[in-house]
Structures are given as C-alpha cells and as structure tokens.
Chains A and B, each alone.
Chain A
Amino acid sequence: MISKELVAASTRPLLLAILSRGESYGYSIIEQVRARSGGELEWSEGMLYPVLHRLEKEKLVLSSWKLGENGRKRKYYRLSAAGARALEVDLQQWNSIHNTLSTIWGAKTCLT
C-alpha cells in the first residue's frame, strides 16, 4: 500500500501524464492507473472527480461531453497547453527526486 501522502502528491502528475497520451474519462483513468501501477495504486472516485474538477478550474484540463463507443454520454478530459506546461514542471521535479533516491539506493532506472 502506498501512503496517503504519496498518493495525494502524485495525483496531479499522474493525471496530467495520462491525459497527455490522449483524452480520457473518469472510469478509464482509474482503470489505467490500476493497470499501469500493477494494482499498487487504487484511485477512488471520491478523490478523482473532485481533482479533475479542480484541474479544470485551474484550466490545466479541458472537458467535453461526448458519446462513448458504448453509445452513452461520457465526460472526456484532455490536456490544455497550460496543463502540458504543468506536466513538464511536475516531471522535472519528480525526476529530480527519483534521481536523488536512485543515487542513494544505487538503482539505475530513470522515470522517462
């Protein structure tokens, strides 16, 4: 289990990173996070939607209602230009923390 603080801190960069690969909707985002973390990260709906709402308010993501392939309406989110810049900053910061930890722990992997 990843600690609450770490989950909270990584929410924004993960969300922006997922959306940087193309638009997506809430349910799919949770599934992607679960799959990519190998089940280590379980995002709750109660956390995700308010965060999406906040990022939308901060103009980092844009949203629009569209018909999904199942024929139902879905609210899709995509990255804005400001969101792409924010992701860039987040990435730099996470990389520097990751690199610092790696030098201390002796791991040779890189986030990018």
Chain B
Amino acid sequence: MFDLEKSIIVWKRSFQQSCSLADERIEELESHLREAIVGLSRKGLNDEEGFLIATKRLGKASVLAAEYEKNGFLGANRDRLVWMLSGYLGISLCGIFSTALVSSLSAGMAFVGAGAMTTGIIMTLVQVLFWITMLVVACRVDNAPFVSGGFSSSWLAVMFAAMIALPFVNSLARALQATFVEPTWQVATYYWVGYGQIAIQLLIYAFCFGVLYKVRRSSAVLAA
C-alpha cells in the first residue's frame, strides 16, 4: 500500500542529504509537491501516480541546488569558473596523459629494439594524433560531464586519481625503458620528441591566438 506521507519524508530526506538547500527552500518545495499532487488527483490520478509525476517534475535535488547556487556570491560567474577550472584541469590532464602514453609506447619500442630517431618521430606523431583525437572528442561530446552546472563527485574522483596515477605510470615506463636500452637511446628519443612537442605547442598557441583574435574583432563590431 502506498503511503504518501512516508514517501514525502523519504523524498525530503534525499533533498536534505544530497544538496545544500536551506530548510526553508525544501519546505517550499514540499508545499509545492503537495499542491501538485492535489492538482493531479483532480485529473483522476491516485496519490502514488501523482507523487511520481510531481517529484519527477520537480527534478533532481542536485540540479535544483545548482540553480539556487546561481543566486549565491559567485552568481553568474559560477559557470565561468567551472569552465575555466575544468579547461585548465582538462588540458593539464591531457598533457600528463600524453606524456605517460609516449613513455609507455617508447618502452615498447625499446623492447622491440627500434632506433631512437624512429621512436622519437613515431612518438611525435602519436602526440599529434592524441591531441587531434581530444579536439574531435571535445567537439563531438555535447553532453559533457559538467553540463548541468558542475562535475559529479565520481568524475572529480576519476580525474583526481588520474592526475596522481599518470606521473607514476610515466616514471615506471621510463624505468622500464632503461632496462632495455642505453641511457643515450632515451636522450636521443626525447631529443626528437622534444622538437615534436615544441611544434605541437606552437600549433596550439597559434590556434588559441587565432580564435582570440577572431573573437576580439567580432566583439568590437558588436560594441560599435
């Protein structure tokens, strides 16, 4: 048997636990929920059906809390802050990941006995491919994990773990290389990879400046 009062208490608890909404806000939402259930019962729905629909319409606590937070001291800058920080972390993470990837693949190349120059050039190509892939992914994925106003805690945990773990992977791979080849091989490989990295960096800078230049011009037009 469906118990409306009990269900409302459970629903309220989910709001109190999962977000930072003030009690008065939750009370107002509860008042709304009850009105909505009464409204739906006039349309012939029973308490259980009304409760399901009304809670669904109210939406998730986290989404509502994010909307309320826009009124907070960060205000409209909240979204900007999220974008800026996730941009910084995202680029850093891609950088760390690509370094670890290159080291690991180089260890493989060292194992099969490839030359330093071949390895260096292939690793540069790997990095170019990696950044292009990241760019394509960024353009394709339109429901990014922070689309509803912030990362979920599980996404934050994954990112944090990756930030900690990837440098270890990198060191391990470097150590592994040293067991297969002479230190001069590593130096020579990184000589090539280094040039590749400079070229990639310059391309990324050129892209950023190009975009900023375009935006600057169009905003000047808008202001005029």
Contacts and interface: CB of A to CB of B under 8 A. Distances in A.
Interface of A: 25-28, 31, 44-47, 49-50, 53-54, 57, 70, 72-75
A50 B29 contact: no
B140 interface: no
Contacts of B175: none
Contacts of A45: 29, 32, 57-59, 64
Contacts, number: 56
Given A46-B58, A50-B64, A54-B70, 6 more contacts: A28-B35, A45-B32, A45-B59, A49-B67, A70-B38, A74-B35
By secondary structure, the B interface counts as helix
A44 B34 CA distance: 16
B167 to A, nearest CB: 41
* 7 shortest interchain CB distances as A-B pairs: A27-B35, A50-B67, A46-B59, A54-B71, A75-B28, A50-B68, A45-B58
B28 A50 contact: no
Contact of A44 (B31, B39, B59, B68): B59
B216 interface: no
A27 B39 contact: yes
B63 interface: yes
B218 to A, nearest CB: 19
Contacts of B38: 70
Interface string B34-69: 111011000000000000000001110001100110
B71 A75 contact: no
Contacts of A73: 27, 31
B80 interface: no
A78 to B, nearest CB: 15
B18 to A, nearest CB: 14
B25 interface: yes
A81 B73 CA distance: 25
Contacts of B68: 49-50, 53
Nearest to B71: A54
Contacts of A44: 57, 59
Contacts of A53: 25, 68, 71
Central interface residue in B25, B38, B71, by most chain A CB within 10 Å: B71
A90 to B, nearest CB: 19
Contacts of B34: 72
Given A46-B67, A47-B67, A57-B71, A26 B32 contact: yes
Interface in B157-189: none
Contacts of B32: 26-27, 45, 49
B65 to A, nearest CB: 9
B128 to A, nearest CB: 38
Nearest to A28: B35
Contacts of B64: 45-46, 49-50
